[in-house]
Amino acid sequence: MLCNPLVLTEVAISLTSPVAEHAITLLMSVNRKIAAASVRVKMADFSLDNSLLGMDIHGKTVGVMGTGKIGQILCKIISGFGVNLLAYDVFESDAVKKLGGKYVSKEAIYSSCDVIFLMMPLLPATKHTINESVLPLLKKGVIIINTSRGGLIDTKALVSGLQSDIIGGCGLDVYENEGDYFFRDWSGKVCQL
């Protein structure tokens, strides 16, 4: 049986845009500390202070590591925030360049970006893209968003980066070794992470 290519294209689009949009949602949630604000409201703490403000995304330098279909959609969305867009990929996208994105090295992404999106496939060359040796290279306070593959981040390095304030926050849709825990109800059990 033959499939209509138009239908396949529509399915591909329907699966790529939501991931890019979710990555933006994670960024905004982490940056504006939505979870912490929600807890405060539930506790009837309506005090005003600067601890929940986050930063303005406009004018910041944002790195997108992986500019395939999802990464390109993400670049289009995030460029609307008025950011300085840097990208890294072994295959450069003309669409990203037309948006004003500039392709640079991984090291340039690490050192200059306020936000880093991981949008790459998990391959031997990309495993643990964020690791202990990368932490000293990162711009202090960087927000890391990963909606691609958990193995792109070394979990121990991520925790270390968060504890030392090198990493200012992270939004994860995936994480390393998630297969043992996700898609199951753990509400009545203790997870041994």
Q: Which residues are catalytic?
A: 149, 178
Upper half-sphere CA count for residue 46 (Cβ side, 13 Å): 1
Q: What is the dihedral of CA 8, 11, 13, 17, to 10 degrees?
A: -160
Q: Answer yes or no: are the C-beta atoms of 118 and 153 closer than 8 Å.
A: yes
What distances in angstroms separate CA 118 from CA 10, 49, 127, 129, one per listed residue? 24, 31, 11, 9
CA distance 9 to 53: 40
Strands laid side by side in the 61-65 sheet: 102-103, 84-88, 61-65, 115-118, 142-146, 167-172
Largest Cα–Cα separation, the chain: 62
Element (H, E) at 39: helix 34-42
